[in-house]
Structure 1
Amino acid sequence: MPPDDLRRVLQTAIAYRIFEEASPDVSVRHNAVSALFALVPNIRDAMGLLVEDNPNGARRFVESVRRFPGSGEPGHSALMVAERAERGLDHAVADPSKGFFDLIADDPPRLQRFRNTMGMSTRAPGYAVSYFLDAVPWGASGDNDNNNNNNTGRCPARIVDIGGAGGDLCAQILRRYPGVRAATSLDLPEVVATAEVPADLARRLRFAPYNFLSEPMAHDADAYLFRHIFHDWSDQYAMRILRNLAAGLRAGARVWINEVVLPDLSPDKHVGDQRSRGADLLMKVGFNGKERSRRGWEAVLAAADARFRIESIVQPEGATDAVIEVVFGA
């Protein structure tokens, strides 16, 4: 890059608090922000996702909603419209059920970049698992009376985490709540094939393959967990996930959903509204997914199965995600 062009780019970055000038117009040095990009690989992966995938989809957003009005298919997202356009593929013959996750499954570097980004995001301020652990009313030791372990305040004896990836949520729950006797982390076969059970949880944690879009639930438990799952999917797919779950639930089972609950727009909290609604559109652009308000959650649960009922919603102080407690009735 020509030196003058490089200077202009760097000085613009400095204006946004990335790098700092060591000598005006001559040299720059790292500051705390720019050093992150040099030293933390996952930060670079996250930026790759933000500056490559997301803008591509955003540029095709209007086209996607005109071409596929009202569609909830992942293959009709703006990002998939952009991907097909770049590859010269025909929208008319593309499988609408195949979305971004299917795309990157065949692209190992891109898949790893996405996984690294998601792993980093769950450790970002506001997204820590500790918010969920503190919000569930289970008690440190639990009360596993077989007749009562589904009551609010009781610790479930058995839990199932759906879409649990490497089992981090289950592991943290088991270490915090000894009253949880057994946990099963479910995910796609290729994910659980490489998952490892920590030595200290060898008798309490297991992994099992499961496709929440196509398989009825076959694992009996007292509590079922979803963390950052539903916002990737439109209502039609969220209902499919919930109906597959309902097929294996007994009356009184509880479902805990750890996701955003969009607040009503505020006349004075503009920054918060911009972040939450921006995240909602980001899910639309990338996956044809969505963030949901309380009314949205109530609607999709009721449409999936009338036996689902929201018992409570807790919004921990400082957390991005709420903790939604759902009871499955008779």
Structure 2
Amino acid sequence: MWPAATQAVPALVKWPKSQKPQHSVFAIAHGLETHVFDMLAEQPERAARFANAMVYFNSNADLAPHHIYDTFDWESVSQVVDIGGSAGSTAVALATRLPQVSIVIQDQARQSIPPALADRVSFIAHDFFHNKPVRDVDVYHFRWIFHDWSDRYCLKLLRALKPGARVIVSDFVVPESGTTLRYKGGLVRGFDLAMMELFNAREREQRDWQRLFEEADSRFRFEGVKAMPGADPAFISATWQP
């Protein structure tokens, strides 16, 4: 992170207004010509460290994945696809609390699932920019996925879903200036800088989220942003009307 932080200005000068993920500050700092995730795919040891870092973040009470359970009504949900679900911490948290729900994790990472949940939580390796292999599900969940990508790629990601899909996003929402504690607002803006440095991406304000769904397809019904006490990420939801 630190070598990337020192190269922010040169990257902005070299690639003004670029939305390509390979045009990141990290790429300049480390001599890459690819996206960070492509680098991780080629270096299993670093990929394992990255997955462990996500497990660490999820162990923080303010970032813990169980908050999503308290945010929505899951009574009518029977199948969830957790896209980019890494080692499965969100899937395990949901499956533990929702005995009627089966969850498919779409990601390259594979971790052991608790034996009691093994019949309801599974992994599929999949490129999430292509049409989804698991259809007719109740909810597609994205945790910390959109902030890794510029708008250009987030639109592609949404359009790879299907009409009728309900989308729930667990991600940061940048607060308007003066609407939250200075420390909390600064923390989210710090993540915004980190996403720019690592992925040439960004965090988004609520209006950015709404605009993203509207641009992906006019049939998306944006349902808003929910903030839960004790949770740092917010929860954004929308349904793609058939």
TM-score (norm 1): 0.69
Superposed counterparts of 1:90-129, under 5 Å: 94=33, 98-129=34-65
SS at 2:222 equivalent: strand
From 286, 292, 314, the counterpart of 2:226: 314
Instruction: Give the letter aligned to residue 187 of structure 1.
Output: D
Superposed counterparts of 1:194-209, under 5 Å: 194-209=110-125
Check whether the contact 1:132–1:323 (CA below 8 A) recurs between aligned residues. yes
Aligned equivalents of 1:225 and 1:263: distance in 2?
Answer: 22
**Which is higher, the Rg of structure 1 or of structure 2?**
1
Gaps of 5+ in 1: 1-53, 143-154
Aligned equivalents of 2:40 and 2:133: distance in 1?
Answer: 28
Superposed counterparts of 1:120-159, under 5 Å: 120-138=56-74, 142=75, 155-159=76-80
Query: Does 1:174 pair with 2:95?
Result: yes
Aligned equivalents of 1:110 and 1:204: distance in 2?
Answer: 29
Per the alignment, residue 214 of structure 2 pairs with: 302
Instruction: Give the letter aligned to residue 107 of structure 2.
Output: D
Aligned equivalents of 2:14 and 2:215: distance in 1?
Answer: 26
Instruction: Give the letter aligned to residue 162 of structure 1.
Output: I
From 106, 111, 127, the counterpart of 1:186: 106
SS at 2:59 equivalent: coil
Aligned equivalents of 2:123 and 2:184: distance in 1?
Answer: 37
Per the alignment, residue 224 of structure 1 pairs with: 140
Task: Sort the Cα spacing of 1:82 and 1:218 in 2 relative to 1 into closer, same or farther, 3 A.
Answer: same
Q: How many positions carry a matched residue from both structures?
A: 241
| Structure whose residues are more often helix by fraction | 1
Per the alignment, residue 265 of structure 1 pairs with: 177
SS at 1:183 equivalent: strand
Task: Sort the Cα spacing of 1:274 and 1:195 in 2 relative to 1 into closer, same or farther, 3 A.
Answer: closer
Check whether the contact 2:58–2:89 (CA below 8 A) recurs between aligned residues. no
Aligned equivalents of 2:183 and 2:85: distance in 1?
Answer: 31
Per the alignment, residue 17 of structure 1 pairs with: none
Task: Sort the Cα spacing of 1:109 and 1:206 in 2 relative to 1 into closer, same or farther, 3 A.
Answer: closer
Instruction: Give the letter aligned to residue 105 of structure 2.
Output: S
Task: Sort the Cα spacing of 1:217 and 1:254 in 2 relative to 1 into closer, same or farther, 3 A.
Answer: same
SS at 1:171 equivalent: helix
Superposed counterparts of 1:5-20, under 5 Å: none
Check whether the contact 1:195–1:207 (CA below 8 A) recurs between aligned residues. no
Aligned equivalents of 1:287 and 1:202: distance in 2?
Answer: 33
Percent identity (aligned): 32
Task: Please state how far the C-alpha of 1:76 moved relative to its aligned partner.
Answer: 0.8
Task: Sort the Cα spacing of 1:109 and 1:196 in 2 relative to 1 into closer, same or farther, 3 A.
Answer: closer
Query: Does 1:80 pair with 2:16?
Result: no
Higher RCO (CA-CA < 8 Å; seq separation 6+): 2
